[in-house]
């Protein structure tokens, strides 16, 4: 019976979450393609065997497939789901060529490709703005969301859901303030007062020291406690206007983008361990944890965060992703001629290799994380 409960908490929320985000992404491509006069032959949520489908009046076949790990829009003239050009494209009638994706000017292709990530960002902004307008501003309180195994905080006895009240005698009201006070600590220990349930506790945490590379290339030693703020949010009731809610939502979306890019940059430069890279299993784990321990607001915020990450990742200039197509169409716009199909084919195969390698590495990280979670 336990497996059934776990399925309800982990599998179902994950499928719903990923399905919504994929639908939003592909809907962006679909709407702009229709606006540009390009025929969408197929709109799929998932891959593989079709479980449900119907064809609308304009000839688009909408379907839900068996493997719910993505989706695609296939345009007239596409050879496959990656929008590679079909070998039969030259056999299209002149009327069909007007509606086929390969025969569109580069600027139209660019607009269609950018619409997917753009829809993810717009979706996140709408979620944040709705929360800000109807409920209040989101804050990230000084609450421990995750204790890194073997870190200084773990050894000192900090636990998940501990609320930090003071750091070295200074009151803190957000997780960012905790980080800043730790950075300012000149001794080897940091002194905390915290609330755990109904109890007030005092702890002394011997700080761990990690060597990182600063933006100027100089290696510096940074003190860290070994805690993270994960899936911990609070809503402060504050009445704001709808325009301000959208403005604040846009700022919040940009802040998340900036933090994500900084984290990716730190992984590339070696400042941050690549074990932070997670994949599908990590998303399922986090969505399940939120569904078990938190409420609808937390789930909506998590959905917005993932939507931003999905939009941002798709903008990376890797062939097969939207960002790779963006590079190709920008080159075509600059040169005034279409890129050779053989060159595109090599680029897409290279991009496929990169994506498969990243997926395998992320899955390995996820499996190791689950192993430590279950057996530590």
| Residues known to be catalytic | 26
Q: Which residues are registered as beta bridge partners of 190?
A: 205
Please report the DSSP string for 134-203 in residue order. HT-EEE--SB--EE-TTSHHHHHT--TTPEEEEETTEE--SHHHHHHHHHT--SSEEEEEEEETTEEEEE
Integer Cα distance of 39 and 48 in angstroms: 22
- CA–CA distance from 114 to each of 50, 108, 288, 307 (Å)? 27, 10, 31, 14
Report the DSSP pairing between strands 163-167 and 189-196: antiparallel
Q: What is the Cα–Cα distance from 244 to 295, expressed in whole angstroms?
A: 25
| Dihedral over Cα of 365, 369, 371, 376: its sign | positive
Closest by Cα among 14, 229, 42, 200 to 141? 229
d(CA 219, CA 131) in angstroms, rounded, equals: 41
CA dihedral sign of residues 52, 120, 297, 69: positive
Rg (CA), the chain: 24
Query: Residue 317 class from Cβ within 10 Å (0-12 exposed, 13-18 middle, 19+ buried)?
Result: middle
Residue 67: strand pairing partners = 47
- What whole-number distance in Å separates Cα of residue 19 and Cα of residue 306? 12
Q: What is the 3-state secondary structure (H, E, C) of 356-373?
A: HHHHHHHHHHHHHHHHHH
């Amino acid at each position: 019976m336990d497996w059934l409960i776990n399925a309800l908490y982990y599998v179902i929320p994950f499928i719903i979450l990923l399905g919504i985000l994929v639908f939003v992404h592909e809907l962006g491509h679909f709407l702009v393609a229709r606006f540009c006069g390009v025929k969408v032959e197929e709109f799929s949520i998932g891959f593989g065997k079709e479980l449900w489908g119907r064809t609308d009046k304009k000839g688009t076949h909408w379907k839900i497939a068996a493997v719910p790990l993505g989706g695609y829009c296939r345009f007239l003239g596409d050879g496959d789901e990656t929008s590679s050009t079909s070998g039969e494209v030259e056999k299209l009638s002149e009327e069909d060529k007007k509606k086929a994706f390969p025969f569109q000017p580069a600027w139209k292709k660019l607009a269609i490709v950018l619409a997917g990530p753009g829809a993810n960002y717009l979706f996140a902004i709408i979620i944040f703005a709705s929360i800000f307008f109807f409920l209040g501003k989101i804050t990230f309180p000084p609450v421990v969301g995750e204790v890194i195994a073997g870190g200084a905080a773990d050894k000192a006895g900090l636990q998940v859901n501990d609320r930090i009240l003071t750091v070295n005698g200074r009151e803190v009201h957000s997780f960012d303030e905790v980080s800043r006070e730790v950075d300012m600590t000149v001794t080897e220990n940091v002194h905390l007062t915290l609330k755990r349930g109904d109890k007030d506790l005092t702890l002394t945490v011997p700080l761990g020291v990690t060597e990182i590379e600063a933006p100027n290339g100089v290696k510096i030693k940074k003190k860290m406690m070994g805690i993270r703020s994960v899936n911990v949010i609070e809503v402060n009731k504050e009445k704001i206007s709808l325009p301000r809610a959208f403005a604040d939502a846009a700022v919040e979306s940009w802040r998340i983008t900036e933090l994500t890019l900084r984290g990716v940059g730190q992984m590339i430069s070696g400042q941050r361990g690549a074990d932070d890279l997670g994949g599908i299993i990590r998303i399922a784990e986090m969505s399940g944890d939120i569904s078990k321990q938190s409420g609808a607001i937390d789930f909506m915020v998590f959905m917005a965060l993932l939507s931003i990450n999905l939009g941002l990742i798709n903008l990376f200039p890797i062939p097969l992703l939207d960002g790779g197509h963006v590079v190709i169409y920008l080159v075509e716009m600059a040169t005034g001629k279409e890129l050779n199909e053989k060159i595109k084919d090599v680029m897409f195969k290279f991009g496929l290799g990169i994506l498969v390698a990243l997926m395998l590495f992320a899955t390995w990280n996820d499996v190791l994380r689950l192993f430590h979670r279950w057996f530590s």
